[in-house]
């Protein structure tokens, strides 16, 4: 059974666990062993399991070639605790697995973890910052009943098409409140993360209620020249003695703050001081609540640019204090790795492997600690060490999109009286599923009906002059020829509206009121 890549998505840690368990059960060589003068069939020693699983994890693309033998032993301890393996007498549940010659075997059943079941039509309420209503969306695309508009609404919306151009005026949009701006940042950040990961929804890997938009805004704008977050609450700052230790090790052997003479192994003690501080934090830097999100990013690490963009957005979700500590630690790890003058920090491990093993657990781990958190954290930390500068930068595309959207909402607009979309359209309160045929039928009929009613109103309006009526009907015919032809299929049906006047001139009745009298010369006034 060949290892396969487990991509991003919900329950990735569970899928990786089941994948590793299956590979181990199907591939681990079993043979006959002798223990305490007794032979046992179909079993293996602890050292054999460590050796075989270590090779499997190192060449598995879901993990990292930097997986150590000690980490493999820790994973086998979890296998024993979760009854993936048992000792030769059928005992399990204790973390007493060691790299020795003790015999183990597989239980008769496969202890794979089940996946939580979710409803396919899970509703999600999304608040829009510039509107006063809520919109319900679904995980699947379904036809929705369109909004039916009456003839009066269509008359208002299509007033220009039938010849009326109402007066307009410039108005300012309402002033955005701080809560509106926060909603925009939260909504856009979630949308960009979902798009980058290629998921239909973030519901199964992230509880959006736990996302604090104020943290995102502070992580974007409250930074110094180096891009490191500036904390408003100084009590959450990294202690001064830790910062001094980090400066000392990052600039070794040229330490500007170091005034005391050093001794052999001094740099190792400084490293342990830093490691102890990070190891005693209450939760990892990437927090328990964002564990599934960062694990999902591991599924796209083979696409460096895409993974870097996803991690940029994920790190914006962190509390500012966590992001600052992560920035300082990643900068230190990168400088230590590139510092050729620094002596080895371990006698058994290289400097890079030593740092990954030391800081992985304080950067990323699950709350229950029964998954592959140590191996996943090692892979993530290795990737972040190599790309820390890009990952801890502000995602420029997201920042530009949010700022342009906020500027658009604050920009002036042209408003026509009684033609604003909010005044015309009824506020949608809910949607429900209908068939595709019904949707197509309503899409056509709901458009034709109001237009036909509008045409009838123009036709039956007795107060409108004939000239004005002809003008409007001509414009209506040009804009909506199908609706017009259905009402007036022939020229004769249209001519009924405008009956021809009689061409015979009226008689001059005034000429018959008195008899015709010839012209008579007036009598001369001369005497």
Q: How confident is the model over 454-473, as pLDDT tens digits?
A: 887 887 777 788 888 888 88
Q: Is residue 324 scored above 90 in pLDDT?
A: yes
pLDDT for residue 55 is more than 90: yes
Between CA 117 and CA 14 the distance in angstroms is 13
Q: Give the contacts of 1 (CB within 8 A, at least 6 positions apart).
A: 22, 23, 26, 27
**pLDDT value for 408:** 85
**Predicted local distance difference test score (pLDDT) of residue 11:** 82
**The pLDDT value given to residue 322:** 96
Q: Cα–Cα distance between 231 and 66 in angstroms, integer?
A: 34
Residue 446: strand, helix, or coil: helix
Identify the sign of the CA torsion 324, 226, 357, 312.
Answer: positive
Q: What confidence category does residue 214 fall into, taking pLDDT thresholds of 50, 70 and 90?
A: very high
Distance CA 59, CA 70 (A): 17
More confident site: 164 or 224: 224
User: pLDDT over 70 for what percent of the chain?
Assistant: 74
Distance between CA atoms of residues 397 and 400, nearest Å: 5
What is the pLDDT, as a whole number, of residue 138?
Answer: 36
The burial class, CB within 10 Å (0-12 / 13-18 / 19+), for 72 is buried
**What's the full length of the chain, in residues?**
527
Q: For residues 226 and 330, what is the distance between their CA atoms, to the nearest angstrom?
A: 13
* Better pLDDT: 292 or 433: 292
Residue 519 has pLDDT above 70, yes or no: no
Give which of 471, 472, 443 is closest to 455, Cα–Cα.
472
User: Which residues have CB under 8 Å from 522's CB, separation 6+?
Assistant: none
pLDDT of residue 2 exceeding 60, the answer is: yes
Q: Residue 184: which pLDDT band, with cuts at 50, 70 and 90? A: very high
Tokens 């704008």, residue located:
221
Q: Check: pTM over 0.85? Answer yes or no.
A: no
pLDDT at 181: 93
CB 41 within 8 A of CB 35: no
Degrees, nearest 5: CA angle 118-120-126? 95
> Residue holding tokens 């151009």?
165
The answer to whether residues 62 and 5 touch, using CB atoms and an 8 Å cutoff, is yes
pLDDT for residue 21 is more than 70? yes
Give the per-residue pLDDT at 428: 43
Tell me how far apart the alpha carbons of residues 308 and 436 are, in angstroms, rounded to a whole number.
40
**Of 400, 409, 397, the residue nearest 177 (C-alpha):** 409
Q: Give the integer Cα–Cα distance in Å for 376 and 369.
A: 12
- Please give the Cα distance from 153 to 167 (Å, whole number): 18
pLDDT at 24 over 70: yes
* Sheet containing 86-87: order of strands: 31-35, 38-45, 103-105, 86-87
Distance CA 35, CA 33 (A): 7
CA-wise closest residue to 443 among 200, 144, 93: 144
Please compute the mean of the pLDDT values over residues 311-319 and round it to a whole number.
Answer: 96
pLDDT given for residue 137 in this prediction: 38
H/E element holding 104?
strand 103-105
Q: Look over the chain and give the mean of its residue pLDDT values, rounded to a whole number.
A: 79
What is the token pair recorded at 162? 């039938």
Are residues 360 and 312 in contact, defined by beta-carbon separation less than 8 angstroms?
no
Band (pLDDT 50/70/90 cuts) for residue 168 is low
Q: Output 526 or 208, whichever has higher pLDDT.
A: 208
Query: What is the average per-residue pLDDT within 335-350?
Result: 88
HEC string of 494-527 equals HHCCCCCCCCCCCCCHHHHCCCCCCCCCCCCCCC
Residues in CB range of 426: below 8 A, 6 or more apart: 147
Residue 231 has pLDDT above 80, yes or no: yes
Confidence at residue 520, expressed as pLDDT on a 0 to 100 scale: 52
pLDDT > 70? residue 175: yes
What is residue 442's predicted lDDT score, i.e. its pLDDT?
65
To the nearest 10°, report the CA torsion of 500, 502, 505, 507.
-140
Architecture of domain 180-402: Orthogonal Bundle (1.10)
Residue 524 pLDDT greater than 60, yes or no:
no
C-alpha 374/C-alpha 364 separation (Å) is 8
User: 92 near 80, Cβ under 8 Å?
Assistant: yes
Domain locations in the chain?
Answer: 15-105, 180-402
Q: What is the per-residue pLDDT for 159?
A: 52
What pLDDT, on a 0 to 100 scale, did the predictor assign at position 182?
94
Identify the pLDDT of residue 56: 92
Neighbouring-strand partners of residue 43: 31
Residue 370, pLDDT > 80, answer: no
In the chain, pLDDT over 90 holds for what percent of residues? Answer: 39
Reported as a single tens digit per residue, the pLDDT across 408-441 is 888 766 665 554 444 434 444 445 566 777 766 6
Options 3.40.50.620, 1.10.240.10, 3.20.20.140, 1.10.10.10; CATH for 15-105 is 1.10.10.10
Rounded to whole angstroms, how far apart are CA atoms 408 and 259?
56
pLDDT band at 144 (very low <50, low <70, confident <90, very high): very low
**Alpha-carbon distance values, 233 to 218, 238, 469, 485 (Å):** 12, 11, 72, 72
Contact 105, 91 (CB under 8 A): no
| Phi, psi for residue 172 in degrees, rounded to 5 | -95, 140
pLDDT of residue 414: 61
Instruction: Check if the beta carbon of residue 97 is closer than 8 Å to that of residue 46.
Output: yes
How much is the average pLDDT of 384-397? 92
pLDDT in tens, 241-254: 999 999 988 888 87
SS3 11: coil
- Spatial distance between the Cα atoms of 64 and 380, rounded to a whole number of angstroms: 9
CA pair distance 77, 103, nearest whole angstrom: 14
Answer yes or no: is pLDDT of 357 > 50: yes
Return the bridge partners of 59, or none. none
Nearest to 325 by CA among 217, 236, 226: 236
């Amino acid at each position: 059974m060949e290892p396969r890549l487990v991509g991003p998505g919900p329950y990735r840690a569970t899928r990786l666990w089941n994948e590793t368990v299956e590979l181990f059960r199907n591939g681990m060589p079993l043979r006959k062993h002798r223990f305490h003068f007794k032979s046992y069939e179909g079993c293996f020693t602890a050292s054999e399991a460590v050796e075989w699983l270590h090779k499997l994890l190192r060449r598995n693309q879901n993990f990292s070639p930097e997986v150590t033998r000690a980490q493999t032993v820790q994973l086998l301890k979890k296998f024993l605790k979760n009854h993936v393996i048992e000792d030769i007498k059928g005992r399990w549940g204790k973390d007493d697995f060691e790299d020795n010659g003790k015999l183990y075997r597989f239980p008769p059943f496969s202890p794979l973890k089940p996946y939580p079941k979710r409803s396919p039509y899970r509703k999600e309420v999304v608040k829009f910052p510039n509107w006063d209503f809520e919109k319900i969306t679904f995980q699947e695309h379904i036809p929705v009943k369109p909004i039916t508009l009456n003839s009066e609404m269509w008359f208002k919306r299509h007033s220009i098409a039938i010849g009326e151009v109402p007066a307009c005026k410039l108005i300012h949009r309402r002033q955005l409140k701080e809560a509106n701006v926060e909603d925009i940042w939260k909504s856009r950040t979630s949308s960009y993360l979902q798009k980058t990961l290629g998921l239909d929804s973030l519901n199964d890997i992230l509880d959006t209620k736990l996302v604090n938009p104020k943290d995102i805004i502070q992580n974007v704008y409250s930074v110094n020249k180096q891009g490191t977050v500036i904390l408003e609450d100084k009590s959450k700052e990294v202690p001064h003695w830790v910062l001094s230790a980090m400066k000392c090790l990052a600039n070794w052997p040229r330490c500007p703050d170091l005034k005391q003479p050093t001794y052999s192994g001094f740099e190792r003690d400084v490293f342990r001081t830093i490691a102890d501080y990070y190891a005693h934090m209450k939760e990892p830097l990437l927090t328990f609540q964002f564990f599934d999100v960062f694990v999902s990013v591991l599924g796209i690490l083979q696409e460096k640019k895409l993974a870097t963009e996803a991690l940029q957005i994920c790190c914006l979700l962190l509390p500012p204090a966590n992001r600052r500590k992560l920035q300082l630690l990643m900068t230190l790890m990168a400088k230590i790795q590139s510092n050729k003058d620094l002596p080895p920090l371990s006698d058994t491990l290289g400097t890079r492997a030593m740092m990954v093993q030391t800081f992985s657990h304080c950067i990323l781990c699950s709350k229950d600690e029964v998954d592959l958190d140590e191996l996943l954290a090692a892979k993530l930390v290795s990737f972040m060490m190599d790309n820390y500068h890009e990952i801890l930068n502000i995602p420029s595309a997201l920042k530009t999109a949010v700022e342009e959207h906020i500027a658009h909402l604050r920009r002036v607009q042209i408003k026509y009286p009684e033609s604003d979309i909010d005044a015309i359209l009824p506020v949608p309160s809910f949607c429900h599923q209908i068939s595709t045929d019904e949707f197509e039928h309503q899409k056509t009929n709901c458009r034709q009906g109001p237009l036909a009613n509008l045409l009838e109103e123009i036709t039956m309006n007795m107060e409108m002059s004939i000239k004005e009526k002809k003008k409007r009907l001509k414009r209506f015919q040009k804009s909506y020829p199908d609706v017009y032809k259905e009402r007036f299929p022939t020229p004769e049906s249209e001519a009924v509206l405008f009956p021809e006047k009689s061409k015979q001139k009226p008689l001059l009745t005034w000429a018959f009121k008195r008899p015709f009298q010839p012209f008579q010369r007036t009598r001369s006034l001369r005497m």
